[in-house]
Structure formats: C-alpha cells, structure tokens
Chains A and B, each alone.
Chain A
Amino acid sequence: MKEQKVKILENAPIAAGIYKMRFALSEKTDGLFCGKFVNISVGDGAHLLRRPIAICEHGEENGVQAVTICYQVKGAGTQAMSRAKVGDELACVLPLGNGFRLSEEQKRVALIGGGVGIFPMLSVLKEYAGAGKDFYSYIGFRNRDAVCMADTFFSLSARAEIVTDDGSFGQKNNNAVAAFFADYEKARPDVVLACGPTPMLRALKTGLKERGIAVPCYVSLEERMGCGIGACLVCVCKKSGKEENARVCKDGPVFEIGEVEI
C-alpha cells in the first residue's frame, strides 16, 4: 500500500446518486486487485476521514496506472467528492485489504451484489475476464433509476440477472439472493462471491445453511473506517465462535462467510 496523490480523469454520475471516478496514480503501485479498496480523501478541509471505496477496475492507460471507483453520494463527504473536477488531485492510500482470489479449479463463479456492493463484483468480472471462468451474476438495485453497469454484467457473465426491490427493472418481487438460490441447480457454482447490505449477506448465509449447501462462499463487508490500514481498530467485526474481532480493513474486507458474524 502507498500514500500518494491521484489525479482525477473522470468524475461523473452513472445512475441516481452513484458516481464513477477514474483517477491516475502518481506512483508505480503493486498489488492492485479485485475486491481490494482505496482510502481516498474527499478533497475539503472539513472532512478529516477518508472514504474507503472498492476498486471497480484498474489498468494502464498510456503507461499510467489508472483506477476506477464507484461511490454513492450519501452525506456531505461524498457530496464534496462528487464536486471534484477532472485534473484535481486527491490524497489516497491504495491498495488496501485482501481482495477476492479465485483458484484454478474454481471455474463456475456465482456473483451476488446489492446496491454499491455490485462494484466489487464488477471488479471480479473485469479481473478474471478471459481467464476461462463462467460467471453467474445476480445483481440487485433499489429501483430502475439506480441500475448501472447492467451491460457489463450481461456481456461478461455466462448468465446475469438484474433485479430491483420495486420490480421497476428486471424480475419483479425478487432480490439478488433469492435469484441466486432459484438458479442454483442450473448454475452449480464452484464458489460464491457476494457484496451488499448486511441483510442481504445475512439472507445468503442463512439460505446456504438452511439448504445445506456447502459451496465455498466469500463476502466483502462494509464498515465505517478510521485509518483504513489496520491500526486504529475502528472497523471491526466479530469472528464466529471466538472472543475475538477481525479488522475489516486489514484482515478483510473479504471473509469466508462462516468466519465472521454477519
């Protein structure tokens, strides 16, 4: 991980309340990978905390490393971020966290994403595109206005289902976890990756247990963070069956679903 200035190449809305920001790194940075995150300053003096945001995509453009993040404009901090202009510089530490890793044997991969949790799933699709994996994507949004990146999910997945809470887009009366279970016998994934609101991840955990499905499953957790690098112990979760905490920023954000309490 490296502290550095990043230069904004793009910062614009892609759906209701969702912004996509692409920035160029100023220093050669190793270890960029799907499921990891950046801790980025919002660019004003009033907000002392950085915002931890998942890497959505990373690559090289004309010999310069670039990273794309997508974030929800929720409070005053992310509002400040949304006002940052192309060419502005923001302070950033990256890459952080452990990320999603697929083994050679894990060919059939189920991706379950909800809300801003779809972006880490997108990062997996981009990272492993062309690596001979079959992706089965189950992606949930609040409503039609929030839908974004649907085309990417459709084009990079063997099968993708988009659902909305209110049925205004895609299947009605459905959610990403229900869609996953309904399709489970057909998809037969070797591994399941998920990111989304806590109730969604909880439903996934309960559903796997109730159905006696023992497929490996990894989830990416979200928690309010302080330092973002593992020092301050602000963003913790409980380890299952242990009197011990795990740090979401450093030990995670990706955990085996049985490893932590959700």
Chain B
Amino acid sequence: MANLSVNICGVNFKNPVIAASGTFGFGKEFNEIYDIGVLGGVSTKGLTLEPRLGNPTPRIAEGYGVILNAVGLQNPGVDVFLREDLDFLKSKNIAIIANVAGRTIDDYAGICARLDGKVDMIELNISCPNVKCGGMAFGIKPESVAEVTRAAKSALKKTPLIVKLSPNVESIAANALAAQKGGADCVSLINTLTGMVVDIERRRPLIANNTGGVSGAGIKPIAVRMVWEVCRAVDIPVIGMGGITCAEDAIEFIMAGARAVQVGTANFTDTLAMPKIIDGLNAWLDRHGIADISEICGVLQLNG
C-alpha cells in the first residue's frame, strides 16, 4: 500500500481523487452506493448566493466519447447548503471544496465571505460556459481573472482559494498566472469545452441551451496538455481534470504536474469510478515499487 495522501495549501487529502463539481451533488446520493469517505475530497455542486433553477431541459447530450451538459448552475443557494448538506460532508472526514459562482464581482466576494472558515477550500467557478453572466465572462481575459480572484481572496481570511480555469480562452497558462497574481492559492483545470450537438431531424441543437460544456474521456489529451502548460507557468499547486476514467488517466495528469485530480463524467459512466481509480492508483504504485504518490508528481520528461 503506497502513501496516497497529498497536502494542498495545508489541506490534507487522504488520496488525490476528488469528485468534480456538478457531477456529485453534495455527495448524499453517491453515498447510497458506496461510502464516499474513501474519497480524497468532494467539490460541491456550484453554489450561488441565491437559489437558482438553472436551464430548461434537455440539459445533456452525447458525442463520441464525450458528453455535453448545460445544467446552468441549478443549486439551492449557499445558505441551504450550509444548513442541510455541510454536516453530512463533514461527517465523511473528506476534504470539502465549495465550488462557487456569481454574476458580479460582489457576488463572488459575498459568497466567499459566507463560506470562509466553514469548508476546507473554495473553488471559484469563473468558467461555467452555460450561464449568461450579464455579459461579463470573468474567466476569459487575464485581467478579469485577476480582478475576480483578488475580490474573492480579500473576502477570505481562513480558507484557501482555488481558481477553476476555462479552456475556452486564448492562453490558459496566462490566465493561471493571472489567478496566481490575483492571490489564488491553487488552480484547477480544465472546466468543460464549449460544444454543440445538432438534432438533424428537428434541425435544432439537442440541448435546450443550444451549447453545452463538453467533458468525458474524449477531452483528456487536451486537458493533460493544458495542465502541463499551466504547471510550467505557475508556482502554486495545480489540480487536474478532464476525461479521467481510470487510475492510469489520473497518473498522466499527476506526471504532468497535477497534485491531485478531479473526476466528473466518469461518475455517470460508472458510479464506482472513483473508488476504482483509488484502488488502481494503489495497485499501479505498488507494481512500480513507488512508496509515495508524490514521487511521480511532475516527473514528466519531454522527448528531445
């Protein structure tokens, strides 16, 4: 049994496998299938200050090896989360990451202040492709990434801040650097790639929102490349995600420099995907005679 635990910004994860925001709710449903206490952590469904109903349905579609979703941040609001869901997650003794979103800079600062000291980390969702943010897309330009990061960070006295980066940008490394300059303690990537699926019989996009975020196995090579680029650009820890289905996928991200990984779409394909990835990491490390997962973090060597 190798040591799988990792420490990110002072937060201990018993292993580097974290449920990605939006695929896992607040953990209660998956806990009916397995004890989610085996996970390293959970990034919650994206929270906003007020409850949100989200987009019309259909909210999901498939492509080859990928899915598209446009849920539109449906959530009960941060206060309901604090009242009804946080204690359950705490009882599981896992790292709790609150994923948060807003329409304005003040929204981000406000929700961070509300959660400060109550969760282990906060993950700033500035890259949700499925919500119209009043014309303001914080995740696109480095300047706005830095600005929203600064506002969130100034509202946080205790809880470390992760900024979740969008791949739908000119340079994800430049945005990662902007987040670092804005005070981010960590970055996570990639969020979904914006895509579209057409129902040719109806001559309309299949998803009610027209476009949706593409995720799943098919996007993994893009995600690994971006994680590698970002790891070279910043000094803060990086959490990698995008199409991870098995332990070997997770190891690719870790070798590219990610300290931990998040798993999203794979939870839909197999509800036991994450426990299997954790077991698989152990088996792979044992097979290679590696005692600690940190030994393979960032070991990627480029071809001459």
Contacts and interface: CB of A to CB of B under 8 A. Distances in A.
A226 B62 contact: no
A48 B269 contact: yes
Contacts of B29: 227, 229-231, 250
A226 B269 contact: no
A233 interface: yes
Nearest to A91: B270
A247 to B, nearest CB: 9
Interface string B129-143: 000000000000000
B217 interface: yes
Contacts of A227: 23, 29, 267-268, 271
B151 to A, nearest CB: 27
Interface string A1-29: 11100000000000000000000000000
B22 interface: yes
Given A48-B217, A233-B71, A245-B74, A41 B269 contact: yes
Contact of B33 (A3, A48, A243): A3
A49 B30 contact: no
A47 B270 CA distance: 12
Nearest to A238: B53
B65 A223 contact: no
B25 A236 contact: no
A224 B66 contact: no
Contacts of A236: 54, 57, 59, 74
A3 B65 contact: no
Contact of A50 (B34, B58, B74, B268): B268
Contacts of A238: 53
Size bin of chain B's contact surface: 35 or more
B57 A223 contact: yes
A236 B208 CA distance: 13
Contacts of A230: 25, 29
B32 interface: yes
Contacts of B45: 233
Interface string B27-47: 011101110000000000100
Given A46-B64, A229-B29, A245-B54, A234 B59 contact: yes
B270 to A, nearest CB: 6
Nearest to A249: B29
The B interface, classified by DSSP as helix, strand, loop or mixed, is loop
Contacts of B272: 3
A3 to B, nearest CB: 5
Contact of B60 (A46, A231, A234, A243): A234
Interface in A193-223: 223
Nearest to A245: B53
A262 interface: no
B22 A232 contact: yes
A224 B71 CA distance: 12
Best-surrounded residue of A41, A233, A237 (most CB of chain B within 10 A): A233
A232 B25 contact: yes
B176 interface: no
Interface in B57-96: 57-62, 64-67, 69, 71, 74-75
A244 B270 CA distance: 29
A48 B216 contact: yes
B280 to A, nearest CB: 16
Contacts of B253: none
A93 interface: yes
Contacts of B57: 223-224, 234-237
Contact of A234 (B32, B69, B216): B69
Nearest to B208: A224
Given A3-B270, A48-B268, A226 B30 contact: no
Interface in B253-282: 265-272
Contacts of B67: 48-49, 226
A156 interface: no
19 contacts: A1-B33, A3-B272, A46-B65, A48-B268, A91-B270, A223-B57, A224-B57, A227-B23, A227-B29, A227-B268, A228-B268, A229-B30, A229-B33, A230-B25, A231-B23, A234-B57, A236-B54, A238-B53, A244-B53
Given A225-B60, A245-B53, 11 more contacts: A46-B65, A47-B62, A48-B216, A77-B62, A93-B33, A226-B23, A226-B69, A231-B25, A232-B22, A232-B69, A233-B71
A-B interface, 6 closest residue pairs, ranked by CB to CB distance from nearest: A231-B25, A231-B29, A230-B29, A224-B58, A229-B29, A234-B60
